[in-house]
């Protein structure tokens, strides 16, 4: 009898556990569904504010336009009859993206051109192309970016990878196109990140190069965070120069952008939460369209005063922006761009003459141009 009673109790306990687990899973599923519904409805309501105006005869330049937010932005612009110049590191991937967009939209004028923000020679060539073939353009969208695992990595010019690609390459491109931007009253959209608010800013440590002593970052990719803070400072300075500039700071996006950065274990554990709370690349693209075509800066709400766009709302950054540091960063960036380009040109000359290995040491490559020396920005007509 006791054995029967114990067996019955065991079955009851098993049933209770089974039903309890099922109820918990059902409850979690309902919560997840509710959260996703709220997020989706918020997104739908916000996107209703985006007017579907024709952009015929408008020309937009997008860096990193072959995937992620850049790809979705190009597609939306094409759907509204804009001409899109797709500045991509790989022409093959750019052409593949163009075929996909045409297959999905059935229309559009898209021009691919090679632009590798790590290689300043390609930036110069791209600027020449724009000045020659598209001297009149309406908007430059600085979208491309990288996020790699924590640790010091560099561009081919020995500039820290995130700083060199996310910020310095875009700074150089914008600087070379600055006369055209001013002449066309064109807008500049800079994609930063909400993480810029977490940056411990210092001009000297922000401009990290490989020959400098690397610091030990805390948890997370502080190199990426610093590059995004520099992006915001770039927008700050452009606005001070009376350039129509808008900053977009997306939060978590469901793209493959951080696939190399996030450890596999983190990806597995956090993937469901990212799926629940993160926005899609298409949603981010609609925010960029909003930045590029609709939002208007005011005397108060503009990047010079720390304002940015998120979810089609104007937000005030928690970060502090200092005028002297902004000027110092601009000056250092110009000097570094000049130094990096001169280094690349010398490498090309040296390699052609067959004595590449005997000319430059790694440490010499990172030296900045002296303040009193003439830089390429003194005479942009040479470009």
- Burial class of residue 131 in the structure, from the number of CB atoms within 10 Å of its CB (0-12 exposed, 13-18 middle, 19+ buried): middle
Beta bridge partners, 253, equal: 279
Of 344 and 246, more confident:
246
Domains of the chain by residue range? 56-327
Query: Has residue 111 got a pLDDT over 80?
Result: yes
Mean predicted confidence (pLDDT) in 214-230: 69
Q: How far apart are CA 191 and CA 246, in angstroms?
A: 9
**Which H/E stretch holds residue 353?**
helix 323-353
Query: Of 99-103, 146-150, 227-231, 341-345, which has the strongest mean pLDDT?
Result: 99-103
Bridge-based pairing state of the strands 313-316 and 307-310: antiparallel
Counting Cβ atoms within 10 Å, is residue 125 exposed (0-12), middle (13-18) or buried (19+)?
middle
pLDDT for 250: 81
State the pLDDT at residue 136. Answer: 96
User: Model confidence over 197-217: pLDDT tens digits?
Assistant: 777 766 766 655 544 544 444
pLDDT tens per residue across span 114-129: 999 999 999 999 999 9
User: Could you tell me the pLDDT band of residue 108, with boundaries at 50, 70 and 90?
Assistant: confident
307 has a pLDDT exceeding 80 = yes
Q: Which of 70, 35, 121 is nearest to 281 (CA)?
A: 70
Does residue 248 sit in helix, strand or coil?
A: strand
Interacting residues of 304 by C-beta distance below 8 A, sequence separation 6+: 236, 239, 240, 321
Give CA torsion, residues 368, 374, 375, 377, to 10 deg.
140
User: Which CATH architecture fits 56-327?
Assistant: 3-Layer(aba) Sandwich (3.40)
Say what the pTM is: 0.77
Q: Which of 19-33, 80-94, 301-315 has the highest mean pLDDT?
A: 80-94
């Amino acid at each position: 009898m006791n054995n029967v009673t114990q067996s019955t109790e065991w079955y009851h306990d098993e049933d209770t556990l089974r039903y309890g687990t099922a109820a918990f899973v059902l409850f979690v599923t309902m919560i997840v569904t509710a959260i996703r519904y709220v997020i989706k409805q918020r997104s739908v309501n916000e996107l209703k504010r985006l007017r579907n105006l024709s952009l015929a005869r408008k020309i937009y330049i997008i860096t990193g336009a072959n995937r992620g937010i850049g790809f979705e932005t190009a597609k939306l612009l094409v759907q509204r009859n804009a001409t899109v110049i797709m500045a991509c590191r790989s022409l093959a991937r750019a052409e593949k993206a163009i075929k996909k967009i045409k297959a999905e939209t059935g229309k559009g004028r898209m021009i691919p051109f090679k632009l590798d923000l790590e290689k300043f020679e390609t930036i110069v060539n791209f600027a020449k192309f724009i000045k020659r073939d598209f001297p009149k353009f309406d908007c430059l969208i600085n979208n491309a970016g990288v996020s790699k695992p924590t640790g010091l990595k560099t561009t081919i010019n020995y500039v820290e990878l995130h700083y060199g690609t996310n910020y310095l390459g875009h700074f150089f491109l914008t600087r070379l196109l600055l006369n055209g931007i001013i002449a066309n009253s064109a807008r500049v959209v800079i994609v930063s990140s909400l993480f810029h608010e977490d940056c411990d800013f210092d001009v000297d440590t922000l401009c990290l190069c490989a020959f400098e002593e690397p610091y030990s970052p805390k948890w997370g990719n502080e190199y990426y965070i610093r590059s995004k803070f520099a992006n915001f400072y770039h927008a700050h300075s452009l606005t001070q120069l009376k350039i129509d500039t808008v900053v977009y700071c997306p939060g978590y996006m469901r793209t493959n952008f951080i696939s190399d950065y996030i450890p596999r274990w983190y990806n597995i554990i956090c993937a469901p939460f990212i799926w629940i709370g993160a926005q899609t690349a298409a949603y981010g693209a609609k925010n960029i369209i909003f930045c590029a075509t609709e939002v208007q800066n005011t005397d108060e709400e503009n990047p010079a005063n720390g304002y940015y766009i998120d979810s089609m709302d104007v937000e005030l950054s928690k970060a502090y922006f200092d005028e002297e540091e902004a000027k110092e960063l601009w000056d250092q960036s110009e000097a570094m761009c000049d130094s990096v380009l001169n280094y690349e040109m010398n490498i090309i000359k040296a390699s052609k003459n067959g004595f590449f290995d005997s000319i430059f040491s790694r440490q010499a490559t990172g030296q900045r141009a002296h303040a009193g020396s003439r830089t390429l920005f003194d005479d942009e007509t040479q470009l």
